[in-house]
Amino acid sequence: MNKMFNSLAARLSLILIVVTVVFMAGFTIYLVRDRSEETDEMILRKGVSAARTGATVMERTLNGIIDDGLFSTGEVFDRTLAPISLPSAVISGYAGVSDQALSGVKKYHFATTLDSYLDNVVLEVEDQFLDDPQIGYAALVDANGYVPVINSRFSQRLTGDFARDLASNRMKRLFDDEVGLRAARNADQPYLKQVYRRDTGEVLWDISSPVFVKGRHWGSFRIGLSMDKAAEAIAALRWKVLLSMGLLLLVMVAATNRVTAFMMRPLQLLHRAVERMERGDLEEEEIARLTNTKGRDEVAGLSRVFARMAAEVKARETRLKEQVAELKIEIDHAKKAKQVEEITGTDYFQSLRQKAKEMRGDKSD
């Protein structure tokens, strides 16, 4: 491991990868946050559009009732609530339920002048909004929070099962909690967004838009956007962004590693050549390869300069070897001459030489 990180290419690649990871992580965090906020804004715009569309449709419906002479303006604005008693079978089914819990049930089933008529006119319109899975409810409410008609899924027959009835039968109820009253009585703002914690445990965005009849504030149209669905949409978007950025990061890391290796290859060749020259076994082919290095960058220039230097060193080395060989021959000749001189210069050699002359002289005589 330490040997690997002694490599300049490995260290450079690691630094580039770390910088890339840090940059990509920061950009991913920013992108996820930005896309989450954008998704929130998109969901809000959708809720506002639905609420204002519903309010417009309800205004036309209520104004049309008056214009067609079906009900007078006074009857449309009559908010008198007539309690409807719950069947005894249902009441007996609620035995054992706390008084606090039952207090919610007692808000059910109020009749008004308009509710029976609106059952046949408004229900279908309200149900169409629930085609969007993010919308949990869509309902017209008067200024006191009374809901004459609510979606079919919340208008189921009472069974006497308290938990089931609480979730599936919310028709003709007076929603006079804080959120409900603020939504119902808002006449100044084009829409109102609130966090609504239903008595069933759900948490939603309640978006309402005021409804005006003959120029007077009648109530509002409320849309419930599921925060769970919104959270799921944001989570799905977050994972999609993270997965995309993760794949992009892997590609960039791989590309960085390959590009670094490619860019460092001339330097690695130069490094190997320097090591071989140090050992004295640099070949002519390597010098020629370095001489032909392409490019105008510093490494390419250094490779060509080193090749020229190596060629000159090799040439000087060759000449030096030749000179050494010649010098050795001369030294050998001089040494032999000296050895001969040393031999011939001895008294013994001279006496032998003299005897040899004398013997040649005798023969000649």
| DSSP state string for 46-107 | HHHHHHHHHHHHHHHHHHHHHHTTSS-HHHHT----EE-PPPHHHHHHTTT--HHHHHHHTT
pLDDT for the residue numbered 119: 87
- For 137-195, the pLDDT digits (tens) are 999 999 999 999 888 888 878 788 887 877 777 778 888 889 999 999 999 999 999 99
pLDDT for the residue numbered 241: 74
Q: Which CATH architecture has domain 50-233?
A: 2-Layer Sandwich (3.30)
How far is 349 from 347, CA to CA, in rounded Å? Answer: 5
pLDDT for the residue numbered 274: 75
Q: Are strands 110-111 and 216-226 parallel, antiparallel or unpaired?
A: unpaired
pLDDT for the residue numbered 365: 45
Q: Closest Cα to residue 212, out of 175, 184, 187?
A: 187
Q: At what angle do helices 227-279 and 8-67 cross, to 10 degrees?
A: 160
pLDDT for the residue numbered 286: 75
Residues of the chain with pLDDT under 50: 1-5, 364-365
pLDDT for the residue numbered 5: 43
Between the CA atoms of 270, 275, 279 and 285, what dihedral angle is there, to the nearest 10 degrees?
A: -20
Q: How far apart are the first and last CA of the chain?
A: 97
Q: Cα-atom radius of gyration of the chain, to the nearest Å?
A: 51
